[in-house]
Structures are given as structure tokens and as C-alpha cells.
Chains A and B, each alone.
Chain A
Amino acid sequence: MLLTVTSTAADATDLGFLLHKHPDRVQRFELPVGVAHVFYPEATAERCTVALLLEVDPVALVRGRAASQDQYVNDRPYAASSLLAVALGKVFSTARKGRCALRPDLEGVALPLTVRVPAVPCADGPELVERLFAPLGWDVAARTAPLDPEVPQWGDAPYVDLALVGTLTLADALTHLYVLLPVLDDTKHYWVGPDEVDKLLRAGGDWLAEHPERELITRRYLAHQRAYVDDASTRLDGPATEPAAQPAPRVSLARVRRDAVATALRDVGAHRVVDLGCGEGALLRDLVTDPAFTELVGIDVAARELDRAGRWLERLSDQQRARVTLRQSSATYRDPAIAGFDALVLMEVVEHLDPDRLPALEATVFAHARPHAVVVTTPNAEYNVLYERLQPGGMRHPDHRFEWTRGEFAAWASGVGERHGYAVELRDVGEPDEALGAPTQLAILTEVAR
């Protein structure tokens, strides 16, 4: 991967002093991320260009402890990533700090600079490059390229050939790249720890606070770790003054849904409840606070979800924990261990199964487990047109195999009810639209005494 910086200032070769690298030498630096080479393709009084070329070892990249990538073949040897940012930080560390002991007169002088990075990852499109660099005083040119020239229908590649032109100090230019290249790439090759916040604040101290994309920059730089992002925000804003009037927090649909399910469970008088498809256990967490639920069984098909659910379970009191069991199982396999409960919850579960597996779920739940009541929630497809971000005909989650209209859901529920002897009650969850219904639909199926 490559990066060049060109100065067209008078006495352009002064760039060499600022970088502490002689324009007539080719230098080589062994770094943990690879081998960095620094050389000057041009070095005249009018125009001086330094090139940083980083050779990454593609075998080491995916081997042993250094293995940071889950894919064996990846773009790291070519694309400007956090690897390049680290190399830049190391090789030009003094320059980035803006110090020049040999020529103190050059410190802090803005130069007419052109920066070029030929392969900058930007899966979010070239506009983001503009939004990140332009506020810092750069003229941005981001040239796109086809993903594969021989397969034109694939469109553009998720990289741009980036050229930045502006009059800035070299130190600022390097710092901008140091912070923003990893932000564009949005994957770090190393473990992000708390000292990363310090690094970010040191590098972006005098410009980040006012940057319009500050939130995106902090979030991505800090690898989306909520605690670090919050820490950085607080420190960027300085000591809190008068707390701003908080707008009433909007209650999420997920919250409303869990409350609706809990209400339904109380309405059917359930004490022993199975949450089939419990995921990380958000519903169980709510239910366990109510001692009326004496036995809670969380079932999920994915072992990793249950591991996560198990983590909060450990934080409960012994009394509460004794009421919760987690167990791996599947809605498409009959399971004697979930038979005979008061109620079974299928919260946002059915739409994650292919339609031809629904009869298996039906048999598992209604023929074999046979709880007294079953509470089902699922999205109302009619409501989707009210979600601006959803494509027409699109679904709310990429894994949804279908989303039902109110009619389709009612038909399914009443069919199940007839086949297995359950009465059906339908409820709205969330603020209903007059014509389109509520965002989520809920059904309570109650066993009819035979």
C-alpha cells in the first residue's frame, strides 16, 4: 500500500527536513505491520514528493498470533488501512508532532501540499471521504474505479483513489491521515483498548471537537466500543456545564414489545414460561424481576446467544437465578423438556424460519410441548411503508424469511388454533396506524379445554 505527499512550496525539498528523511536516500523500516520503505520519486526545488510504501507479509497476516483477519485472502496488502496509519505514525512520528530541530523555522508553516492514497477503502461511497477531509481544509478528489473492469454490472469497487490538495502544515496533514484512514476503513487490525481514546484525543485535540463528523469519527476510530466513545465525547466537550434539557426518551419498539408480551403472560395467568428463541435473553431479564414467574426457561438454537444470555444470568441473585434455565434446542425438533408449561413465547421467531419449516414448529409447540398458552409476536408487513429507510417490499431484518400482513398472521394463527384446539386473541403492539395497523402484531393462543 502506498501514500505520497507532494510539496510545491518554494524550496520544496525542505520537506526532507520536516520528515527527517533525506530526499536522496531510500530508507527501509522493519515494523510489526510490515516493511515500510520511504523514498522520494521527485525532489526538486519546485516540487518534492515523498512516498511511503508498506509491504505487508500476506502469509504472516493470517498466521498464528498475528492473524487478525478472518479471511485468508484479503485486501490488507493493498488497501490503505490501519496498518498504513500505524506505519505512518511510526516512520513520520516527529514530523507528525510538527517538530523540526534542524530547521525550527519550518515548524508550523503551512505548505501547499498534495496527498495521494491510491486505494482508500470506503464501502460507504466516495461522499464520506469528502465529508471527512473537506472540513479540515482539503480540496478532495476521490476517483472511483470499477470493481472488476471485465464485469461491468458489478459497478464500482469499494475503494477510491484519493487526492487531497490544500495548504496546511505537514504535521496536520499527517495527523489527518493518521486518524481518518482507519476511520474510512472501519476495521482495526489490533485490539482497541482504553489508551486508544488518549491517542485519538492527542491526535485530534484541536480539530476533532468541531468536526461535523465527530461522532462517526470517534465511533469508528474506537472500534464502536460504546464505553470508549462515551469517554471520548465527554472529554472532547470539556467539563459538563448546565445539563441540556433531555428530550423525553423515545421508547423503543423492542421495549414496547417485551412489555406487551409480559402483559399477555400475566393475562393468561402464566407462572411457568418457556421463551423459545430467547436470544440474549432480553425478555427473560424483564420477567425474572417479577416473582409471579416462578420458572423461566430460555431456549435458543444458537449456542453463542445462550452464552451471552448466560453472562447476565450469572449476575442475578441466587434466588432469581434459580428460577431461570437456559437450554439449547430448536423449534423444528420436538423437545420433551419444554412440555407441560403454562405458557410459551415465540417473540419475533416465526419470521426467522423458512415457511416450509413452520409446520415443524407448529408440531413442536402445539402438538408436543402443548403449553396452556402461546404468545406469538411478528412484524406487521403492512406497517413497513412507514419506515423511511426500508426499500419498498423490503423486510426489517436481512434474516427475515417473510413478514406477514395482519390477514396472513391471523390466518396462520386461526389455522393453528383449529388444528390443535387453541383459541386465538390478536393484539396490537406499538402505536397503531389507522390504516396500516400496529408495527408489531401479537397473538395469544389459549388451549381450549377438551
Chain B
Amino acid sequence: MIGIPELSLVALVGTSGSGKSTFAARHFGPFEVVSSDYCRGLVADDENDQSATKDAFELLGAIVAKRLSRGRLTVVDATNVGREGRKQILDLARAHDVLPVAIVLDVPVAVALERNAGRADRDFGAHVVRRQHDQLRRSLRGLEREGFRTVHVLSGVEEIDTAQVVREKLRNDLRDRHGPFDVIGDVHGCLPELTTLLGRLGYAITRDERGPVDAAHPDGRTAVFVGDLVDRGPDSPGVLRLVMGMSAAGHALAVSGNHEAKLVRALRGRQVQVSHGLETTLEQLAAVPDDERRAVLDWCDGLLAHLVLDDGRLVVAHAGLKEEYHGRASGRVRSFALYGDTTGETDEFGLPVRYPWAQDYRGRATVLYGHTPTPEPEWVNNTMCLDTGAVFGGRLTALRYPEREIVQVDAEQVWYEPARPFPAVADVRADDDLAITDVLGSRVVETAHHGRITVRAEQAAGALEVMSRFALHPRWLPYLPPTMAPVATSPRPDFLEHPDEAFAAFAAVDVPRVICEEKHMGSRAVVLVCADASVAARRFGGEPGRTGAVYTRTGRAFLDDDLTEQLLARVRAAAAPVFAELGTDWLLLDAELLPWSLKADPLLRTQYAAVGAAARLALPAALSALGTAAARGLDVADLTARTAVRREDADAYSAAYRRYRWDTDGLDGVQLAVFQVLAAEGSTFHDRDHLWHLAIADRLVAADPELFRTTGRVVVDTADPAEAVEWWTTLTAAGGEGMVVKPVTNLTRTRRGLVQPGLKVRGREYLRIIYGPDYTVPENLVRLKDRHIGLKRSLALREYALGLESLERLARAEPLWRIHEPVFAVLAMESDPVDPRL
């Protein structure tokens, strides 16, 4: 019976003909085994080409490295009788922090020679096998010293043939423990605070005459200690007694802290510097019976440096742990977990300067740790330090998992004077540091509603400048609105877009009821409004005095800071009841900001108005020349008719754009048409129907009718939409932009997947601005109808899913890089070349 760790690098060691490949095939999966012969074949078309050995082993190394970095058990099928070959394996294991295992297949030379003789491709002489066998013999003793954690020697054919391989879980692998947990920060001998905290967490404490010996939670919760139970505080033995009791009863787990590690060495009589509170513990332990001290030593010695819990979603380590080290085992993993990463420098108090590993952390697992006293526990990239300096007069902190609730107990007194003043001044928030690797390159964003969405490298490259130089700071941009697909092209002779196709499209995917919402021809605006500046600073980390943001589809601010704050103040005042009702201190709203000219005035002037002006100069002159020519009997009737239509079209075109501009002065003339509540603290609302959203919008209008604008709407069955068609026709005939048709229930999935969140149906007159004054001329319209909506639709759906993803991550208070990822992806998608008229 051979036990090997589930994640390890196994070296098979044996001469040519010892049966390694047969053994490997019997005990391991086909991809788990990487054979040097096979690699020779890959690089040289010949498994026995000895001249390819160097390249083959380089390739082997590359394959092994990839597998190990992905956490896959790997077996190296090579003779490995030479020290140099084994060194490559040991180096690979060390580089990936997995345990190296050697399985030696020791067969008599005669057997090996006989087997080789039976194989036509192995024509090397007997001396080769003999030499390998000699090397193997010489190596056997030193394998463990070389660095193999476990060495299994199978001697003889029979032992090899009957061997069983058993895979053993790593001790830190507690992925099958799902909690719920109460993770408790550094206790440092503070027994009174610990018992109070456990009480507050709901644990029932069992005591004997000397003090508490166990604590159990009625709901079966498990306490998890992040280490540093001992030193400095008033009763380290008492804390150990309680925690060891809980641990033995299955009520608690613990990882080792650096103080436990040092205590173990001290109790073993090793030379250690008795300082930093160790002196207190040793003094206290001197008073306990020998067998108890022995038990303390054994228990502390048995503590692991980190634990992986809850299907890998939770990692507990005393000083934290970077993602590559989760579930791995090596000296440096243990050292990181116990002592953290340091920059090698020391601060003015002589303490090591710690490298802020959490800032770089991009892992999915929540990491809970202690070690560095901080005044307030704070989430940094899904990690939290729970050491709040109980022993220094701070607090003892627990985090309920998965609830993520913090429970704290104040220290009863300052038990120990810290080397560095505590509480230290809080550092600047560091978690909104975004790395270029968070956004550039080809990436896949996992979305809850539309699966994995790929962002190509060139799409990301296209968005980087906009995001870096034109958008607001990413902390103010938790969401970018998706593009919206137009309805399928209408078959009617005089329409490019008509509502019929929208109802048909939704009916076809079994959406029975839709809401038609008026489009205002404003600019799409996202409004992030906080209850006050302190909420904004805490939740979004903004600059002092700012309470939110109002931004465009590409993340640009609409207004200067001052006007933005004025607008936010009005929104805040109107939305006060909504804040209360939703139990939130911030809101994210989806809206249109009017007039369009507020943002688009330069475009209106240089692009749209200029076309109208040129037409007003050219066409009357042409008509007058044609009129004179006709008067003298020339046949210019057709040309005159066409030119007259052009002139009317040009006037209609000017009339169309004029509807979307008006003068504003400060906020005078500015209007906001809110149509959706995107998110609030802890919640998103895409599962609430659109009537709920519009009801909130209507309340804003009622509260401040000057600023807020009502969105007209009609709800119809897709089977009977006549009322809505009529409504759209009236709306657009009066110059309205058009409408968006949405499933009334909001987020909708069918068997075929996610349904378009809305289809826009734009008015016939409005479309002149998009397709040109003369687009309605039949010969033009018929050609313009040849448009391709497929890509736009697919883009709209992907951007919709990315938008929902960023909202859900925001509501869950995930780290900024996680929220920014789908937001940036939306902008990246927009760098795709799609017909902008759609």
C-alpha cells in the first residue's frame, strides 16, 4: 500500500525495463503521467532519440509546471536514476509548493534486460541498463536527503505488481467542512474577552473548577481561530485549555500563529529569544501540571499553518495567504502563512515592514487572517484581517461566515504595551488599487446570467484609453449601461422600424407581456447618489465632499463637480423615502438626462445643424434655377420633384434635431427621467418588474416635478399589442424619439437562455437624424433596410449580462477590481466595429 498526497509530484525511479510505464498506466490517469520517452517523441519523432534528451526534458518540465500550477497531481515517468534528473523534479515541486514523492521500482538487472530484449525499439546494450542499475543503487539511500518528502521502494517484480496506490488528502484540505463558521482574531491570552465574545456569538460555555474547557454553539457552528492564541495576555494557558477543549470536541478549528510556533520551540528547549510576550506565557505555563504542558506542546505542534474550507471558498491563515499557496504544502507556504510577506525593511519601531499582499490578491476564496493589529477590520480584495489588538486594549473580533457579520468585544484593559502605538492611524484605503493585469489582455468574465464572456485583447486595448483618461475614477463607475438592440427591420414600405416586430420578437420567445417605455432622446445617464459624503467615502472611497456621480455610457462626467453635487442634492432629497424603504444609504439609478444638447451641443452644431444649414442654402437656389428653366419650357419636372422632396426632408430633419435641444442655465432646464433602480446596499433589482421601477420613478417625479420627468408607458400582451402600436404612432408622430419594449417582468430567461432586456423602436422622424434627411425616399429606404442586427443583438445581450454581473458584485460589496472587471468589459465590447446607426 503506497500513500501519496492528492496533490504531489511523483517521480518514478527505475532502470529501463523496470516496468515504470506499466506501473504508471495501472495506477494513474493517462494525462497524469508525463513520460520522457513521449516528450522525446514529441520533439524528435522518435521516443529513443537520445540526442533529443535535453529538449525533451525541457518540454517535460514545461508540462509538469503547467499541471502543477493548476493543482493537478503529476507523475514523471523517466528513469530518474541520476541525481540531475531528480533535481529538476524537486525544483519543480518546490516552485509549485507541492510535495515531491519518489516511487522506486527496483527489479533485478536480468529482468530489465529480458524486457528490453523483447522490444525492437530498445537496442541499447546491456551495459546501459547495468549502469542505470548501479546509479539507482547508489541513489536509494539519499533520496529523502535530496528532498523527497516520501520515498516508496518496491523491490522485485511481485511487490511492484501487487502494490496499491492510495491518494491521501492534504491535512490542510478541509474543503468538505462547510461551517457555518465564526472566525476569531488574535486572542493573545485574553481569556475574559474570548469568553465574552463566544457568549456574544451564541456559544454555551462549559467550565470546570479551573475555568472554561469547552464552548458549543446550539446551531452547530464551528469556531475557527486564526492563531496567536498565546503570549502577552493575562491567561494564555486558560485560552489554550478552552480552545483545545473545543478542538477536541469538534467545536473549533485553529491554525498556528507565529507565537504558537515559537512557543513550541521554546517548550522543546530550543534556543529562542524570550520576548514579545513569550515570557508571560512561559511564566504562566510554569504553573500548570507537566502533562498539561506536554499536551499544549503536542497540540500546538500539530497545528497547521493554513486551512482550506467550504469547497475552497474560505482560507484561514494566521498572516494571510496568497492565492498560489492555497492548499499547497511547503516550507515557504508555511512561512508565509505564519509570518506574512515582508519587504525586508524595518520601520522606525524596529518592526518588519509588511508587504501588503492583500492589495495584490485576486483570488476567489475569502481569506481571513490576523497577525497585524488594525484599528478596524476592513475588506481588502475579499480578505480581512481580524486582529484588532485585543491585548493592546483594542477589541477582539470575530467574523461570522458565510454571513460576513462582524462581532466584537472591547478589551477590558490594555494587557500589554505595544511596541508600536496602537491603534495606529488608519492607512489610506488601498483596496481600490487596480492593476493593469485586471483589465488588459484576453480575458474571460464569468457572469451569473450569460456564462463566460470573452473579452478579446484588442477590445480591451481599445477601451484602456477611454477608461484611463476620459472616464471618472473607476470607484465611481460600478456600472456601465449596455447597448440596446433595435427591433428587426420593418417590412412596411414606409418604415424602417415599427413596433410590430418588437411584439413578434418577444412573442416568439414566449414572453407574454411587455411594457413599452417612452424614450426621451436625452443622454443615457447613471446616477450614483449617497446619503452623504461620509457614506460615499466609506462605501466608494471618494474624495472629501463628494456624494456620488452622474456619468455617461462611457463613464464620463456630465457636469462639473459643483453642478453634479447640486443635482445629487436634488435627487437625494426626492429619493429620501426610497432610501428608507430599501434600507440603503446609497442608490444607483438608470436614467436619461435631458436635454441631449447638454452633452451633445458641439455635435449638434458641427454635425447636425451644419447639414441643415447647407441644405437651406443649396436646395432653394436649385429649386429657383429649376423653376426658371421650367418657365422657359425645359423638361425638368422629375428633377424638380426630387429636389422639392429633398428640401422638405431637410426641413423635417432640422425640426427633428431641434426637439432635442434647449437652453439650460445651471440646473435650470435640466431634467432627469429615471426608469430603473439598478442597485442599493446589498440588493439589485433586476428581478423586480418594471412597474415597480417606474413606480419609484413616479414618486421622484411627484417629489420634484421640475427636475424629474415622467416616462410614458403602456403595458400590453404580445398577442394583442394594438394599443401600444397606436400609442407609439401618436408619440412619434408628435416628434417623440420612440420607445423601448421590455419584458414586463424584467430579467427573463427562457429555455434558450437570456432574453433581450429591451428592443428599441425608433420613430420615423427621429430616424432622420440617424440615417439622413432623405432616408425615407423609397429608393433609399429599400437599401437601408438591408441592415444586419445580429452582431448588435449579441453584443447587447453580452453587455447586459456584464452589467448585471457588475451590479451583483457591487451589491455583494466585492472588491473594486471585481466590480471593475465587467464594467471595463462593457467598454471593451463597445470598441467593436458595429454600425453606429443601430
How far does the Cβ of A297 sit from chain B's closest Cβ, in whole Å? 13
**Is residue B539 contacting chain A, with contact meaning CB distance below 8 A?**
no
Within 8 A of B (CB), among A137-163: 145-148, 150-151, 153-154, 157-159, 161
Identify the closest chain A residue to B635 (Cβ).
A26
Give the residues in chain B near A335, CB-CB below 8 Å. 435-437
Contact string, B326-348, partner A, CB cutoff 8 A, digits 1/0?
A: 00000000000000000001000
Contact string, A322-333, partner B, CB cutoff 8 A, digits 1/0?
A: 000000111111
**Is residue A236 contacting chain B, with contact meaning CB distance below 8 A?**
no
Binding site of B, secondary structure by majority: helix, strand, loop or mixed?
Answer: helix
A426 CA to B615 CA, complexed, in Å: 56
A450 CA to B615 CA, complexed, in Å: 70
A75 CA to B605 CA, complexed, in Å: 12
Q: What are 24 A-B residue pairs whose CB atoms fall within 8 Å in the complex?
A: A37-B639, A39-B625, A40-B629, A42-B632, A51-B626, A55-B639, A71-B607, A72-B771, A73-B607, A73-B770, A75-B610, A75-B614, A79-B618, A145-B616, A147-B610, A148-B654, A153-B663, A157-B610, A159-B617, A301-B465, A302-B464, A334-B435, A356-B473, A357-B468
**Is residue B525 contacting chain A, with contact meaning CB distance below 8 A?**
no
Q: Which of B469, B618, B663 contacts A301 (CB 8 A)?
A: B469
Contact string, B647-684, partner A, CB cutoff 8 A, digits 1/0?
A: 00010001000100101000000000000000000000
A40 touches B614 (CB 8 A): no
Contact string, B409-443, partner A, CB cutoff 8 A, digits 1/0?
A: 00000000000000000000000011111111000
**Is residue B622 contacting chain A, with contact meaning CB distance below 8 A?**
yes
Identify the closest chain B residue to A79 (Cβ).
B614
Q: Which of A78, A145, A333, A356 contacts B619 (CB 8 A)?
A: A78
Known: A58-B774, A148-B658. A116 touches B621 (CB 8 A): yes
Known: A2-B621, A71-B607. A77 touches B774 (CB 8 A): yes
Known: A55-B642, A58-B774, A157-B610. A328 touches B464 (CB 8 A): yes
Give the residues in chain A near B543, CB-CB below 8 Å. 356
**Is residue B784 contacting chain A, with contact meaning CB distance below 8 A?**
yes
A50 CA to B789 CA, complexed, in Å: 46
Known: A73-B771, A147-B613. A41 touches B632 (CB 8 A): yes
A336 touches B435 (CB 8 A): yes
A41 CA to B632 CA, complexed, in Å: 7
Identify the closest chain B residue to A73 (Cβ).
B772
How far does the Cβ of A309 sit from chain B's closest Cβ, in whole Å? 14
B609 touches A151 (CB 8 A): yes
Q: A41-B628, A118-B618 are in contact. List 8 more A-B contacts (CB 8 A).
A: A37-B639, A40-B634, A41-B629, A51-B625, A77-B774, A148-B613, A332-B434, A336-B437
**Is residue B730 contacting chain A, with contact meaning CB distance below 8 A?**
no
How far does the Cβ of B552 sit from chain A's closest Cβ, in whole Å? 14
B607 touches A333 (CB 8 A): no
How far does the Cβ of A153 sit from chain B's closest Cβ, in whole Å? 8
Known: A41-B629, A329-B440, A356-B473. A157 touches B784 (CB 8 A): no
Q: What range describes how many residues of B lie at the interface?
A: 35 or more
Give the residues in chain A near B725, CB-CB below 8 Å. none
**Is residue B289 contacting chain A, with contact meaning CB distance below 8 A?**
no
Q: Which of A2, A71, A119, A154 contacts B625 (CB 8 A)?
A: A2
B468 touches A332 (CB 8 A): yes
A28 CA to B616 CA, complexed, in Å: 24
A333 CA to B460 CA, complexed, in Å: 14
Give the residues in chain A near B644, CB-CB below 8 Å. none
A375 CA to B243 CA, complexed, in Å: 56
Give the residues in chain A near B643, CB-CB below 8 Å. 53
Known: A118-B617, A159-B614. A72 touches B770 (CB 8 A): yes
A197 CA to B438 CA, complexed, in Å: 50
Within 8 A of B (CB), among A312-362: 328-337, 352-354, 356-357, 360
How far does the Cβ of B89 sit from chain A's closest Cβ, in whole Å? 29
**Is residue B608 contacting chain A, with contact meaning CB distance below 8 A?**
yes
Q: Which of B438, B468, B611, B784 contacts A73 (CB 8 A)?
A: B611
Give the residues in chain B near A42, CB-CB below 8 Å. 628, 632
Known: A2-B621, A72-B836, A148-B654. A329 touches B770 (CB 8 A): no
A72 CA to B834 CA, complexed, in Å: 13
A121 CA to B618 CA, complexed, in Å: 11
B837 touches A72 (CB 8 A): yes
Q: Residues of A at under 8 Å CB distance from B? A: 1-2, 4, 24-26, 37, 39-43, 49, 51, 53, 55, 58-59, 63, 71-75, 77-80, 116, 118-119, 121, 145-148, 150-151, 153-154, 157-159, 161, 301-303, 328-337, 352-354, 356-357, 360, 363, 368, 450
Give the residues in chain A near B615, CB-CB below 8 Å. 75, 77-78, 119
B772 touches A119 (CB 8 A): no
**Is residue B702 contacting chain A, with contact meaning CB distance below 8 A?**
no
Contact string, B739-778, partner A, CB cutoff 8 A, digits 1/0?
A: 0000000000000000000000000000001111111000
Contact string, B342-368, partner A, CB cutoff 8 A, digits 1/0?
A: 000100000000000000000000000
Identify the closest chain B residue to A61 (Cβ).
B772
**Is residue B535 contacting chain A, with contact meaning CB distance below 8 A?**
no
Q: Which of B434, B613, B629 contacts A51 (CB 8 A)?
A: B629
How far does the Cβ of B590 sit from chain A's closest Cβ, in whole Å? 24
Identify the closest chain B residue to A154 (Cβ).
B605
B464 touches A301 (CB 8 A): yes
Q: Residues of B at under 8 Å CB distance from A? A: 345, 433-440, 458, 461-462, 464-465, 467-469, 472-473, 543, 605, 607-622, 625-629, 632, 634-636, 639, 642-643, 646, 650, 654, 658, 661, 663, 769-775, 780, 783-784, 836-837
A357 touches B622 (CB 8 A): no
B468 touches A41 (CB 8 A): no
A294 CA to B737 CA, complexed, in Å: 60
Give the residues in chain B near A330, CB-CB below 8 Å. 436, 464-465, 467-468
Q: Looking at A121, A158, A353, which has the most chain B CB atoms within 10 Å of its CB?
A: A158
Give the residues in chain A near B784, CB-CB below 8 Å. 59
Give the residues in chain A near B435, CB-CB below 8 Å. 333-336
Known: A58-B774, A157-B614. A73 touches B608 (CB 8 A): yes
Give the residues in chain A near B609, CB-CB below 8 Å. 147-148, 151, 154, 157
How far does the Cβ of A205 sit from chain B's closest Cβ, in whole Å? 31
A357 touches B465 (CB 8 A): no
Give the residues in chain A near B605, CB-CB below 8 Å. 147, 154
Identify the closest chain A residue to B661 (Cβ).
A151
Identify the closest chain A residue to B837 (Cβ).
A72
Give the residues in chain B near A79, CB-CB below 8 Å. 614, 618
Give the residues in chain B near A328, CB-CB below 8 Å. 440, 461, 464
Q: Which of B433, B628, B780 contacts A363 (CB 8 A)?
A: B433
A46 CA to B383 CA, complexed, in Å: 93
How far does the Cβ of A120 sit from chain B's closest Cβ, in whole Å? 9
A118 touches B774 (CB 8 A): no
Known: A58-B772, A58-B774. A26 touches B629 (CB 8 A): yes
B617 touches A157 (CB 8 A): yes
A336 CA to B435 CA, complexed, in Å: 8
B629 touches A157 (CB 8 A): no
A119 touches B661 (CB 8 A): no
Give the residues in chain A near B661, CB-CB below 8 Å. 151
A333 touches B468 (CB 8 A): yes
Give the residues in chain B near A118, CB-CB below 8 Å. 617-618, 620-622
A339 CA to B836 CA, complexed, in Å: 40
Known: A161-B617, A328-B464. A39 touches B629 (CB 8 A): yes
Identify the closest chain B residue to A360 (Cβ).
B473
A332 CA to B435 CA, complexed, in Å: 9
Identify the closest chain B residue to A399 (Cβ).
B469
B468 touches A331 (CB 8 A): yes
Known: A73-B608, A148-B609. A26 touches B461 (CB 8 A): no
A421 CA to B235 CA, complexed, in Å: 43
Q: Which of B464, B469, B472 contacts A352 (CB 8 A)?
A: B469
8 tightest A-B contacts by CB?
A157-B613, A41-B628, A118-B621, A78-B614, A119-B617, A330-B468, A119-B618, A333-B436
A146 touches B836 (CB 8 A): no
A353 touches B469 (CB 8 A): yes
